[in-house]
Every structure is written in structure tokens, then in C-alpha cells.
Amino acid sequence: MKTHTQKILVYQQDGVGESKIQGISKHGHGLFCLEIISIDSPLPSFIDDTQRYLTCGIRADLVLDFLKHPDLSHDLAVACSRQKIPMVASGKKLQVKGVLTPPT
């Protein structure tokens, strides 16, 4: 029986998710397929159209949010909720159905 390798989509800003990405790669070798989207450019304090930074049509089994910008995190959470893709956003105060926000 062939098993499905789970795809984890990781959004990070300014490298803040690197240690977690390395941990997943090291300890989950072969169990997960990681796709990393890094946003390293300076961002305005308010982003009206987040589509410029976020993937349209998320294809993943799980999304991890290591973004610092609240507009990006919120819109990513809404997109994941709409597509019924679980998302983990540690330490965030998002209140979007399907998004887990454990304390850091």
C-alpha cells in the first residue's frame, strides 16, 4: 500500500521560521514534502492586497504561518479556512475557523 507524503506549506518572513523548518526537515525526513515561501522584502504597515505575497489556490495538507505581518497572516488564515486546509499560527491572535494558534 502506497502512502501519501504530506505536503507542508510554510510561509515565513525574514527567516523567522528557519529553525522550525530545519527541525521538520531533520526529524521528519521522508514523511513530509516541504514548500517554503519566504517574504524578505520590506513591507508597508498596511497591505490592502495581500495576493501579491500569498499563493493563490493553496495546495497543501498543512500550512505553517511564520509571518510577522498581521494582514498577511489574517488573509492566509481566511484562505486556508475557505479551502479547509489546517493552519498553525503559533502565538497569533487570529480567530479564524480551522486555524490553530497555540502559545509560543
How many structural domains is the chain composed of?
1
What would the pLDDT profile of 43-65 be if each residue is shown by its tens digit?
999 999 999 899 888 999 999 99
Entry field: residues in the chain: 104
**Closest of 54, 62, 53, 67 to residue 87, by C-alpha:** 62
User: Is residue 37 one of the residues assigned to a domain?
Assistant: yes
Between CA 50 and CA 13 the distance in angstroms is 14
Q: Which contiguous run of DSSP H or E holds residue 4?
A: none
pTM of the model: 0.89
- The answer to whether 99 touches 83, Cβ cutoff 8 Å, is no
Between CA 66 and CA 69 the distance in angstroms is 9
46 lies in which domain range? 6-100
Domain of 95, CATH number, reads 3.40.50.720
pLDDT at 3: 65
Comparing 14-18, 27-31, 51-55, the range with the smallest average pLDDT is: 27-31
